[in-house]
Chains A and B, each alone.
Chain A
């Protein structure tokens, strides 16, 4: 295997969970809800996804249980923030803590168990093309789905009436409400969608990335996904670029170390974060006085009868 090919394969694997979780969160934030519980929903997806795959023997069932687990946890968040109008930041953080604890409990009996990793696509002929074949035509289902997901989200947000309404809700919930749109119902759908994506992203880890379950195995990827949404300035296209940039830098720094280039590893590890900060600065400078690019109602509690 060529080293370039090996690096690209690793980059794709490292970027996929980030992309899946961030894509879901992007839709949630576009509807005006800030759910900081991505890490918690991911780890629940990892635990339940592994449990599902282990008990059924099927990666597909595992992915579905992962999605369901993420959705279930996001429903708790929706009840708190949409139903009871609780502060979104606090509820999101609580969700993460809850998810980490609960996943440890659920996953405890599965620690040390093994499953068969997610199967990779194989198309005779195409998959055998040197370099490109392996990269384009021999990935697992998660990778293809993550790309389709982002394309689908882009299409929904910018090419459908539903997407227009969702963006309107995120930018001004009072106006959307006055026009007769069911703000809370739309936000509920968005939150559940985000939960499902985070659950699937979490399930990717034990089903395809490292085929075993260990408590806490998401190791902060949910937080990176959150940062990516800001990095992308809430645009699906930039999100893909951001996720792959993040993945690429984190894999390349490992290879740079193994080559013994002598660049301090601490510096290399911080590069993706540094890149985020720089891009944010550039974006805010470019916008000038136009103000923030964030959905205007992001994180603001909405009570319909106010």
Chain B
């Protein structure tokens, strides 16, 4: 009896699956791999917001699937393969740690197009995209230096990867443009998402005298600590003003929607090709949340800094960029560091009083 039931169930499942396939056959299937839960209010949440924008725009022509809470590294390979095997023609893998697995799966499925966020390895069917978040960090550095009374910025880092390092450096360069003696205290929590640990790190930084908090982790825990302690903080990935109505100075908001719509349209038209997209404030892939909780002069300075970056008259990594030892680093981009140097950044600029993990 048991066996019979199982067979019947399997048959029903198979039927359901074919039925679904038939209805979906003429729609383009777009898949997403997410690092955290869609409700993290940070990195993954913003990719989910963009996916919803995509569905709103092209909902009648496409069908989307997402897998959330997918661990980085070799584990993610199975999830990507799963999407590839179930008929997805365009797959976005939305975290740096999915890089090598995506490369591997892209090789196995040459007819499927892949897009990997924040990585640097490409193939004919694998493109990359990322935001110039460091532009936003530079503005935050300027604001932080203006707002800090103790002259100490607290910085919560996730992992010492180039994107996080370049964020720290851009912050420092922005801050130094206002106050050359500004200090930054860095705590690495070695996780992207652990609200409790992020809050503990924020408390530790505040206890040690930091009065402006920056974070490169995904939850609003640090913002909430800032609100409780009566100090300032910046939102990360999304506008976190709800968690720090008196604390948030601004936030770097990741705006992936337009890019997802553009690439999906290209896939629908058959014109998709592997590209290396790296857009910032100018292209609005990186957007600043309203400047709040600051005096007018600071707000004006922040707005001017943003306008200058958009106009290209201000370049955060303008040469000479001094390394921690005070010596200028090689300037491969002529007047500024080139893309490779920023995307692969593995040194601190002068004034960062921290030893790089693993160095």
Contacts and interface: CB of A to CB of B under 8 A. Distances in A.
Interface stretch (B131-139, B200-208, B256-264, B323-331): B200-208
B219 A214 contact: yes
Given A214-B40, A216-B193, A264-B358, A258 B199 contact: no
Interface in B172-190: 185-190
A114 B194 CA distance: 18
A165 interface: no
Interface in B27-48: 36-41
A111 B199 contact: no
Contacts of B187: 254, 257-258, 265
B200 A265 contact: no
B355 A262 contact: yes
A187 interface: no
Contacts, number: 112
Contact of B39 (A3, A6, A214, A262): A214
Interface in A238-274: 250-251, 254-255, 257-260, 262, 264-266, 269
Interface in A209-231: 209-212, 214-217, 219-221
Given A107-B39, A255-B207, A266-B357, A212 B196 contact: no
B208 A255 contact: yes
B37 A216 contact: yes
9 contacts: A14-B200, A112-B39, A210-B198, A212-B195, A215-B40, A250-B197, A257-B187, A260-B353, A260-B355
B191 A219 contact: yes
Given A10-B200, A266-B358, A114 B207 contact: no
A214 B355 contact: no
Max chain A Cβ within 10 angstroms of own Cβ: one of B37, B190, B224, B355? B37
Nearest to A100: B69
Given A210-B221, A262-B355, 20 more contacts: A14-B200, A111-B41, A114-B243, A209-B199, A210-B195, A210-B198, A214-B41, A215-B40, A216-B36, A216-B37, A216-B193, A221-B196, A254-B187, A255-B207, A257-B204, A258-B204, A258-B210, A264-B358, A265-B357, A266-B358
A209 B207 contact: no
Contacts of A112: 39, 41, 242
B235 interface: no
A104 to B, nearest CB: 6
Nearest to B205: A258
Interface of B: 36-41, 69, 154, 185-191, 193-201, 203-205, 207-208, 210, 219-221, 224, 242-243, 353-355, 357-358
Contacts of B208: 3, 255, 258-259
B199 A254 contact: no
B144 to A, nearest CB: 16
A291 B199 CA distance: 42
Interface of A: 1, 3, 6-7, 10, 13-14, 17, 100, 104, 107-108, 111-112, 114, 205, 209-212, 214-217, 219-221, 250-251, 254-255, 257-260, 262, 264-266, 269
A44 to B, nearest CB: 15
A211 B200 CA distance: 13
Contacts of A13: 200
Contact of A257 (B41, B188, B195): B188
A287 B238 CA distance: 54
A266 B190 contact: yes
Contacts of B39: 104, 107-108, 111-112, 214-215
A6 B207 contact: yes
A6 B190 contact: no
A129 B105 CA distance: 62
